[in-house]
Structure 1
Amino acid sequence: VASEGHPATFTYGVNAGVLPAGLSLNPSTGVLSGTPTQAGAFSFTISATDGGGFTGSQSYSGAVAGGVVVLPAASLGNASAGTAYNHSFSASG
């Protein structure tokens, strides 16, 4: 909705801090998207500016969790003394 003669279009930007690695902000739509590539805490401030040059901003913070590596439960085969043995493990995540 336009008010005071200012069009209801906005541009968005990060004006403090840094987005988590792998994420980006679309300056036209304000959509934050992507795939985070690093675990850790983050904080940043997003600003929105209307067609008349009026700006508002909001700070955000959070965390990107690290991946979880899973080794499935398995029974190991019996080994015999003096005989070569091997077993392969595989992880996921």
Structure 2
Amino acid sequence: MITMLDKLERPICDSDEIKAIEQLSQERNVAINNLFLNFSGAALSQHPSLLDEFQSIDKQLTQHAEHLKTLMSKQILTQKKNTKATQLYKSI
């Protein structure tokens, strides 16, 4: 039984990854707020390439967070299925 437990998949998303995403999200929010507080719409429109780069980085952050969320969701579903199977086995 113990060897079987050792073979089970461990969480893919560890707390360091979650902390990194939280930190990047906070930095993102501060940067967005500063951007719109310090520059007018006319000033921002003069730098479309910078805005495109900002949008690209923002998209990457969002995609990474969504990917980790999906992985964690799959792990939770797998764990629930394993728990149900264990409970069924115990009831026999």
TM-score (norm 1): 0.23
Report which of the two has the higher share of helix: 2
More strand by share: 1
Q: Which has the higher contact order (CA 8 A, sep 6+)?
A: 2
TM-score of the superposition, structure 2-length normalised?
0.24
Rg larger in structure: 1
